[in-house]
Structure 1
Amino acid sequence: MTLAPERPTTATPTAVVVAPPGLEREQWLDVRRAGVGGSDVAAVLGMNKHRGPLEVYLDKVGELPDDLPRSPELDEAAFWGTALEPIVAEVFAARTGLHVADGPGTLAHVDRPWMLANLDRVVLDPNEPSVPGLLEIKTRSAYQLDEWAEGVPDGPALQTHWYLAVTGYRRAHVAALVGGNRLMVHRVERDEQLVEHLVQLVGDFWQHVLDRTPPPVDGSAATAELLAHLYDVQPDAVTLADPDEVLPLLDQLAEIKQREQQLADERRVIENQLKAIAGEAEIVRCRDEVAFTWKQNGTFAAKRFAAAHPELAARYAHLTPALDTKSLATDRPDLYRAHRARRLLVPTAKKGNK
């Protein structure tokens, strides 16, 4: 008689603790690479402007370079998010009357151990002590106030529902400190259809990781930036590519560029017609509403001003420190090249050569 393996003791309805809180950063990163966490989900789905699916994949398989440029602004935002988290949790508890406890560490789904979660806090309602939930805490810029006033934006909403998927909890609260002085609180009820959809999509991505098959390259700005810094460029090195792969892409690129030029020409015609209607006026109204404006508040034409008013230009000119890139390129060509951006150039097809 073969006994079924004993089910592990769960810390939540569907999750077990796989790492305690307070791990050293390197240990914590090792745990994160064993699965997909809440902060990965939006990136995996192509909905994170700072990270794309390819970067998450390379991170999980241990092939993401350590020297990729990091955004000082994002690092600063992350610092203050961590520093303010206890304060936001305390105020949330005081204003809602709910009990808040620290998260238990890194959780993994009991049946799908690649599904990971690091909860900011666990929430207990005194009126329903047998129905715990989770609290996700965010700090955001004042410019995002309108987004948070309407509900939880897509990225945090996906992260929150991922945590519901991992833990088996039925509800969550998201508390966002917006602009440093506005606490926006939203309650999120578990959407079973969304949970199933997330598990399917993210599970497909995780299979790419297990198979060591990179996901398709997407069109996000984050992936473009990653590709620009991913490789150590070998000057004048040549790659022999499969024509069946490259030539259709070049054809598509040429077609897109042609459409872009056509649209730019059409747009210019319409804009010129509107400018002619405006004439000397800066504001054009239709049906008691502003239809469009053509104001003289664009980029200042410094060269044209200097040519027309040389004496005034000399009076208002001032010297600013500037890097002498020409001398740098001459003296240290290796460093100069290493800090140049990579450009994708497609040779113009010659007439009669198709």
Structure 2
Amino acid sequence: MTTLTTPTGRYLGRWDSGSPEWHAAREHRMTGSRIAGVVGLSKYASRYSTWCEMAGLVEPDPQNDDQARGHFLEGGVADWFASQHPEFELVEAGTWVHAEWDWMLANPDRLLLQHGRVVGGLEIKTDADGREWGEPGTNEIPVYYAAQVQWYMATLGLDWWKVAVLVGRGFKFHEYHIMRDPEDAEWMREQAEAFMVSIAWDEMPPVDGHKATIRTIRKRHPAIDPNLIYDIPDELAAEWLPALAEEKTAAAEAKAAKARAEQARAELLDAMGLAGRAQYGLDNVARRQAKGGGIPYLVVESDLPAIPELQGAAA
């Protein structure tokens, strides 16, 4: 690996994920797995949660089942990709930094070689349902993974990247092709640089409503002092209390609406008897259907007819 070169990358070494050397290389550096959280594109991390982890205020969450699955299946997905592309030699990438901006780090899954020269990279994923993935062969991948591979390309100076994913319960292999976007790369680098400076200056990002932010706040304050009371200032009460009350009201209204809908559904199903469809005028409202010889159930159409003239008729 030490003989391999990339246009802007500098090779550091290859260590087992989670080893002391692996953690030491990532310390005080921006990685591909962090960048989506920094720029607000991740559903797994927020700017706040990433900041707190990198600043050492909280420990990263332990590996979950999805991550463990991806780790164990990585080799199999790589073998599938290799079988589809005999023109490439796949090598484990190790850890790289940008030759000029040492704080930019890339830890790709594989590098792709032709005639001993690095020509691209491969990111390997698994996804249980695949709903966020587009047509295979395109660049339509989840935006947080797109940010990750754009970061790798910016760090190593490569022009394209492949993404291979094992999707769904049917275990289907899909492949995607991502081209480097210089404007996106520059924007992410600027955002990441400002983020790294904010850690150095201890300037914590503002709290937001991201699930990762809320979990991080909970982790920062694990103990409870039953004798300690926080008095909410007037200006914050004016902001927080209406929002909390609105949520309570909306939840109650949603619960009541669900109860009304369930009753209407039951009454409609009863009124239909043996009918396969229910209509209002010329518009379909619902249909009865069954699966595998089971008892019929009601399916309400997604586009219900507008009935402004009936407002108040039920009264």
Instruction: Rate the CA distance shift 1:222–1:94 in 2: closer, same or farther, 3 A.
Output: same
Give the distance between the partners of 1:202 and 1:95, measured in 2 at CA.
35
Deviation at 1:237?
5.2
> More displaced, 208-217 or 52-61?
52-61
The answer to whether structure 1 residue 47 and structure 2 residue 57 are counterparts is no
Q: Which of 230, 237, 248 is matched with 2:235 structurally? A: 248
Does the residue aligned with 1:144 lie in a helix, a strand or coil? coil
Q: Deviations over 1:141-188 (max 9, x none)?
A: 1x2256344721112111111111111110000000113621110000
Residues 287 and 298 of structure 2 are in contact (CA less than 8 Å); yes or no, is this contact kept in structure 1? no
1:257 maps to which residue?
Answer: 244
1:323 maps to which residue?
Answer: none
The answer to whether structure 1 residue 213 and structure 2 residue 203 are counterparts is yes
Q: Deviations over 1:166-215 (max 9, x none)?
A: 11110000000113621110000111111122112222211111212222
Does the residue aligned with 2:10 lie in a helix, a strand or coil? strand
2:165 maps to which residue?
Answer: 176
Give the distance between the partners of 2:102 and 2:4, measured in 1 at CA.
12
RMSD across aligned positions (CA): 3.6
Deviation at 1:140?
1.5
Does the residue aligned with 1:107 lie in a helix, a strand or coil? strand
1:338 maps to which residue?
Answer: none
Q: Deviations over 1:199-251 (max 9, x none)?
A: 1222221111121222222211122122223224252454778x8xx543321
The answer to whether structure 1 residue 63 and structure 2 residue 57 are counterparts is yes
Does the residue aligned with 1:216 lie in a helix, a strand or coil? coil
Give the distance between the partners of 1:292 and 1:271, measured in 2 at CA.
19
Query: Residue type matched to 1:133 in 2?
Result: G
Instruction: Rate the CA distance shift 1:167–1:183 in 2: closer, same or farther, 3 A.
Output: same
Give the distance between the partners of 1:292 and 1:250, measured in 2 at CA.
49
Q: Which of 116, 126, 147 is matched with 2:105 structurally? A: 116
Give the distance between the partners of 2:32 and 2:78, measured in 1 at CA.
19
Give the distance between the partners of 2:51 and 2:225, measured in 1 at CA.
27
Residues 136 and 173 of structure 1 are in contact (CA less than 8 Å); yes or no, is this contact kept in structure 2? yes
Q: Which of 175, 180, 184 is matched with 1:190 structurally? A: 180
State TM-score, norm by structure 1: 0.66
Give the distance between the partners of 1:247 and 1:103, measured in 2 at CA.
57
Give the distance between the partners of 2:287 and 2:251, measured in 1 at CA.
19
Instruction: Rate the CA distance shift 1:170–1:24 in 2: closer, same or farther, 3 A.
Output: same
Q: What percent identity do the matched residue pairs reach?
A: 25
Residues 44 and 56 of structure 1 are in contact (CA less than 8 Å); yes or no, is this contact kept in structure 2? yes
Instruction: Rate the CA distance shift 1:64–1:14 in 2: closer, same or farther, 3 A.
Output: same
1:144 maps to which residue?
Answer: 130
Give the distance between the partners of 1:263 and 1:58, measured in 2 at CA.
32
Unmatched segments (≥5 aa) in structure 2 = 270-276, 289-296, 300-315
Instruction: Rate the CA distance shift 1:270–1:178 in 2: closer, same or farther, 3 A.
Output: closer
Instruction: Rate the CA distance shift 1:122–1:268 in 2: closer, same or farther, 3 A.
Output: closer
Instruction: Rate the CA distance shift 1:182–1:63 in 2: closer, same or farther, 3 A.
Output: same
Deviation at 1:47?
3.4
Unmatched segments (≥5 aa) in structure 1 = 1-8, 298-354
State TM-score, norm by structure 2: 0.73
Residues 98 and 123 of structure 1 are in contact (CA less than 8 Å); yes or no, is this contact kept in structure 2? no
Residues 123 and 163 of structure 2 are in contact (CA less than 8 Å); yes or no, is this contact kept in structure 1? yes
Q: How does 1:244-323 map to 2 (within 5 A)?
A: 246-260=233-247, 280-282=267-269, 285=279, 288-290=283-285
Instruction: Rate the CA distance shift 1:296–1:89 in 2: closer, same or farther, 3 A.
Output: closer
Does the residue aligned with 1:206 lie in a helix, a strand or coil? helix
Q: Deviations over 1:77-128 (max 9, x none)?
A: 22232222222112112113331332442111122111110011111357xx
